[in-house]
Amino acid sequence: RLMFLIILFLSVIVVVGLYYFHSNKSKECANTIFNELLCSLPYGVLALDKSGKIVFYNQLFMEMFGIGSGYINDTALLPEAIVKKLNSLEGSEPIEISIDNKKRYLFVNKSEVKLGNFLDGYLFTFWDITEQELLKDKYKLAYEIFKNSLSAIAITDLKGNIIDINDSFEKITGYTKDEVLGRNISILKSGIHDKDFYANMWSSIKETGKWEGEIWNKKKNNDIYPEYLSIFALYDNEGNQKNYVANFADISDIKRYEERLESLAYYNEITKLPNKKFFISKLKKFIVDYRDKSIAICYLDIDNFRKFMDKHGTEISNNVIYQISNRILPHLRTYDIISHFDDDIFVFVTIYDNQKSFEEYLEKIQWAIYRTITINGEPYNFTSSIGVTIYPEDNDTVDELIRHAQQALYNAKLKGKNKISYYDIIMSKQIAIRKEKYQAIEEGLKNSEFVLFLQPKYNIVKNCIVGAEILVRWQHPKVGLIPPGEFIPYIYNTDLEVEFDKYIFDKAIEAVKYLKNNGIEIKLAINISPKALLDDNLVDYVNSRLSNFDSDIKSLLEIEIIESTSIDNLEKANSILNRFHHLGFGIAVDDFGTGYASLDYIKSLPIDTVKIDRVFVSDMINDPTDLNITEIVILLAKAFNKEIVAEGVESLETASALIKLGCEIFQGYLISKPLPIDDFVNYAKYHQGIKMKLNIENYFNSKDDIEIYAAINSFRRLVEMIKEIGSAKFDQNKYDKIYFNSISWLRNKGMAYFDNKSLYKSIVDKMVKMKEIIDKMNKRDIPQDMYSLYLEELIYTSDLLETLFK
Ligand code: C2E
Ligand code: MG
Ligand code: MG
């Protein structure tokens, strides 16, 4: 309509103009008005007569066509192409012209001007639409970019409802456009991030108009993947947000690449163990984490490995080093850290608890390395040397600590290889401490500061006390009562150890007599040191002392030997134990099941009683593996006709399970703690008259019940421990033990044993599900937020297991 009015207006002007012009009224005046009118128009105007001659034009027309000022009256002045175009026009059309190599877009209207036979011609009006056209191009380009962008783009309204997406969105998320249009962008939420995460994100978008960062989202097929997401807001003219544009790319590959890069930068290529650089940062953290502990830094080097390398070349050598690293790893404690520095050098760090167990730890590693490795059919045995320094006795920087351990290694090599050597300060400090303690114990013995406590062994079926174990305590004049675990290690394997045994033996005879005088005749068991089994010193002494006593006193004595300390010379031990036997002593093996040679012991030594170790008993209803060990120990002892005593019985449940498995003599807190002799006398007298009222109900219907109950408890404990991950309470060692035991039980016995029992089957199914979640959590490669979700699931399933069992 506007166009029509303009044309009408122009036509009037033209007609009026031409009339004046032709009527010759006032040529000059008409020209002036005419030109001014034309110039004031915001359009280009051109009129041609039928012959193509320019009748008139305005300034804007000239500018549009880039024609310099000056009078033109001939179409010849217009570029030929334009004239052609203008002539061929019909009605209104956009045209494209090129002026000074620049494109211009004009909207042209062509209309015939007919005024009878006065004048025939054409009137053209030109609108410059270049800007709009360029904008259109830009829009087109923008759309192409949007459509073809490799990152996914979603445009939403202010509520997050999706208005448009591009192809990559479909490709990355697996959703088609139809599926997502109108739906909320939150369909992509993975559930990994918590509410706070999204709250922060949205407040940033609301306040600053943008947010970017890494985020975990979920695809249509429920796969969760990491993406780099940027969101920005679009604004209306008033400055209010009107839309959001989310732009993201799947960065799983980048993440993997980063990991690979990290692996190159931080790990040894051959063994994939942390390299020196990474190790140093880990060691720094280790020292902070365990600041109240003694920390051993151990520098291990394979003896003569250079020679081996020269002979066999790098490839074989690397392979050997890889095998060696795999042999070291199982012997490390879980919190230990290890590094493969170079060639054949491994450095590892552990907590130094006491000399004995620390050296056992190192020796186990040396043995593991020493086991035969076959190369091209030829057997090889590698020895290794270890240098050790201990922090904070050696209170130096991390670099220096490593250097000191390395120095200690050189000493080990100088001493002839296959040795362990300590950095000097430590050596002297350790020796000084041991010497001091040793002297104090010697002094304590002279002053008779060691007192006996007695802990009853109770036969739960016959309902009577069948014996008691003598457990020593040091009544230290300054410190008070010290348990044996805190002083016996200092005299371990020394001459004082046997002197100590003699002292206890004398006290034991006194105790037997004292009890007898009080009308209590039960066997007392003495723990004797492993060293006393290797020479006749103690048994000679006992023999000479006992000759003064009646045989009934002798028959009230028993010795306990510890199974977990390996006896190198079984023959000698056998002869000494036989001597004890002939003297009338009963012989019990303590801690049965913890050593390496249980079967050897029970077969070849004159043993009367087997004591199942406390570690198995106390966990047997919480750990199916411990339960199985307990069961096997009982079966083994029965097969060899031995008496069986369960140590560390603390609960009625455990007692009930033990009875079901065939063990009826218990020693443990459920019966009584170790008591001073007078208290013990009172206790025993009391129980002589009254039977112990232990309501050991039938907790379990069958052995299977105990086993599944133990398995359920072990999963419950795992979940309890997972809750503590990250806190100071968390005990990695304990966790590893429970994990290992429950999973290996599940994998083997659990699956096979209970497969065909419908109730157990559903329990085992739940456990398998828990195992999968726990495994994911153990890898620690899931985002922190996911933990709580998994944990909830675990707690739920663990509760469910208990309900199912009940
Ligand atoms: P052991 O011979 O295995 O003694 C059993 C240990 O378990 C004792 O610890 C006892 O108090 C503890 N115990 C018994 N029932 C329970 C229970 O229900 N729950 C818990 N948590 N603990 C229980 P104790 O008295 O600290 O003795 C530790 C070790 O020291 C003994 O282990 C033994 O190997 C050694 N020992 C004790 N007295 C002597 C001794 O006179 N001579 C020698 N050479 N060693 C001794
Ligand atoms: Mg004992
Ligand atoms: Mg024991």
Which tens digit of pLDDT belongs to each residue from 161-212? 999 999 999 999 999 999 999 999 999 998 888 888 999 999 999 999 999 9
Indicate the SS3 state at residue 754.
helix
Q: Answer whether 529 contacts ligand 1 (Cβ < 6 A).
A: yes
Buried b (16+ CB within 10 A) or exposed e, 123-132: bbbbbbbbee
- Identify the band that residue 570 occupies on the pLDDT scale cut at 50, 70 and 90: confident
| Distance of alpha carbon 188 from alpha carbon 175, whole angstroms | 10
pLDDT band at 764 (very low <50, low <70, confident <90, very high): confident
Ligand 2 centroid–CA 457 distance in Å is 11
Residue 489 in contact with ligand 1 by CB distance below 6 A: no
Q: Does position 70 have pLDDT exceeding 60, yes or no?
A: no
What are the tokens at 8?
Answer: 């009408």
How far, in Å, is the centroid of ligand 3 from the Cα of 443?
Answer: 27
Higher pLDDT, residue 472 or 67: 472
Query: Ligand 1 pocket, 442 CB below 6 A?
Result: no
Q: Give tens-digit pLDDT for 193-204.
A: 888 899 999 999
At 392-443, the pLDDT tens digits run: 888 888 998 999 999 899 989 888 888 999 998 766 677 778 889 999 999 9
For 249, residues 6+ apart whose C-beta sits below 8 A from its C-beta are: 150, 151, 152, 172, 227, 228
Q: What is the rounded average pLDDT of the residues 121-126? A: 88
Nearest protein Cα to ligand 1, atom 45: 527
Phi, psi of 455 (to 5 degrees): -120, 125
| 701, pLDDT greater than 80 | yes
Q: Quote the pLDDT of residue 785.
A: 73
Is residue 650 lining ligand 1, measured as CB closer than 6 Å? yes
83-105 average pLDDT score: 83
Is the pLDDT at 71 greater than 60? The verdict is: no
Among 186-200, 502-516, 537-551, 706-720, where is mean pLDDT lowest? 537-551
Q: Is the CB of 485 under 6 A from ligand 1?
A: yes
What distance in angstroms lies between residue 588's CA and the mean position of ligand 2's atoms?
A: 9
Instruction: Report the separation in Å between the CA atom of 335 and the middle of ligand 2, taken as the mean of its atom positions.
Output: 30
Distance CA 55, CA 14 (A): 10
Q: What is the pTM of this model?
A: 0.55
What does the alpha-carbon distance between residue 273 and residue 314 come to, in Å, rounded to a whole number? 18
- Assess contact for 702 and 659: CB atoms under 8 A: no
Residue 703 — pLDDT band, cuts 50, 70, 90? Answer: confident
- Ligand at minimal distance from the CA of 528 is 1
Q: What integer is the mean pLDDT of 129-136?
A: 89
Choice between 580 and 757, residue whose per-residue pLDDT is larger: 580
Residue 25's pLDDT band (cuts 50, 70, 90):
low
What span, in angstroms and rounded, lies between the C-alpha atoms of 504 and 510? Answer: 10
In this predicted structure, the answer to whether residue 2 has a pLDDT above a threshold of 70 is no
Q: Which strands form 420-422's sheet, in the order they lie side by side?
A: 337-342, 345-351, 295-302, 384-391, 420-422
Tell me the pLDDT band of 595, cut-offs 50, 70 and 90: low
Peptide bond into 392 cis (omega under 30): yes
Pick the atom of ligand 1 nearest to 669's CA: 18
Nearest CA among 409, 503, 404 for reference residue 447: 503
Band of the pLDDT at 776, cuts 50, 70, 90?
confident
Q: Is 471 in the pocket of ligand 1 (CB under 6 A)?
A: yes
Region 693-722: mean pLDDT is 86
Radius of gyration, alpha carbons of the chain = 47
Rounded distance from Cα 593 to ligand 2 centre (Å): 14
Q: How sure is the predictor about 5, in pLDDT bands with cuts at 50, 70 and 90?
A: low
State whether the Cα torsion 412-414-416-417 is positive or negative: positive
Cβ of 44 less than 6 Å from ligand 1: no
| CA separation for the pair 720, 713 (Å, rounded) | 10
Split at pLDDT 50, 70, 90, the class of 682 is very high
Residue corresponding to tokens 């009584």: 672
Is the distance from CB of 454 to CB of 471 less than 8 angstroms? yes
- The predicted-structure confidence for 630-642, as pLDDT tens digits, reads as follows 998 899 889 889 9
At residue 72 the predicted structure's pLDDT band, cuts being 50, 70 and 90, is: low
pLDDT value of residue 648: 95
pLDDT tens for residues 485-530? 989 988 988 889 999 999 999 999 999 999 999 999 999 999 999 8
254 pLDDT above the threshold of 90: no
Q: pLDDT averaged over the chain?
A: 86
Please state the rounded mean pLDDT for residues 655-675.
94
Helical spans, DSSP H, in 53-110: 59-64, 80-88
Give the residue whose CA is nearest to atom 22 of ligand 1.
648
Residues of the chain with pLDDT > 70: what percent?
Answer: 89
Q: How far is the centre of ligand 1, averaged over its atoms, from the C-alpha of 37 (Å)?
A: 119
DSSP 750: I
Instruction: Look at ligand 1, atom 34, and give the residue with the nearest C-alpha.
Output: 527
pLDDT at 4 over 60: no
445 in contact with ligand 1, CB cutoff 6 A: no
